[in-house]
Amino acid sequence: MFLLIFFSSVLLLAAGVALWPRWVRHRRERIASRPFPPAWRRLLRRRVPLVARLPARQQLKLKALMQVFLAEKPILGCRGLRVTDEIRVTIAALACLPLLGAARGVYPELRQVLVYPSAFIVDRPVTEAGGVLSDQRRVLAGESWSQGQVLLAWDEVQRGAATPGNGHNVVIHEFAHQLDQANGNANGAPALPTAEAYRRWSTVMQNEFDALRWRLARGEPGLIDPYGATDPAEFFAVISELFFERPVELAAGHPALYAQLSDYYRLDPASWV
Model confidence pLDDT, tens digit, residues 84-98 = 999 999 999 999 999
Co-location of 107 and 47 in the same domain: yes
pLDDT of residue 134: 55
pLDDT of residue 1: 54
Q: CA 10, 12, 16: angle at the middle one, nearest 5?
A: 115
**pLDDT at residue 129 is higher than 70:** no
Average pLDDT rounded to a whole number, residues 104-127: 85
Co-location of 25 and 151 in the same domain: yes
Co-location of 25 and 155 in the same domain: yes
> What's the structural domain count of the chain?
2
pLDDT of residue 184: 82
**Confidence at 217, pLDDT banded by 50, 70, 90:** very high
Q: Which amino acid is at 213?
A: R
Closest CA to 50 of 111, 104, 100: 100
The pTM for the full model equals: 0.87
Structural domain includes residue 173: no
Of 79-83, 107-111, 130-134, where does mean pLDDT reach its minimum?
130-134
**pLDDT at residue 126 is higher than 70:** no
Closest CA to 112 of 79, 142, 145, 138: 145
Give the CATH number, domain containing residue 152.
1.10.472.150
15-65: pLDDT as tens digits? 454 554 776 777 888 988 899 999 999 999 999 999 999 999 999 999 999
pLDDT of residue 131: 62
* Cβ neighbour number for residue 227 with a 10 Å cutoff: 13
Host domain of residue 254: 187-273
* Cβ neighbour number for residue 221 with a 10 Å cutoff: 6
Give the distance from CA 60 to its chain's centroid. 19
Give the CATH number, domain containing residue 234.
3.40.390.10
Q: Residue 142, SS3?
A: strand
- How confident is the prediction for the chain on average, in pLDDT? 89
In this structure, what DSSP letter does residue 139 have? Answer: E
Co-location of 34 and 146 in the same domain: yes
pLDDT of residue 27: 87
145-160: pLDDT as tens digits? 888 999 999 999 999 9
Question: What's the Cα-to-Cα distance from 185 to each of 74, 102, 143, 226, rounded to whole Å?
Answer: 23, 21, 13, 22
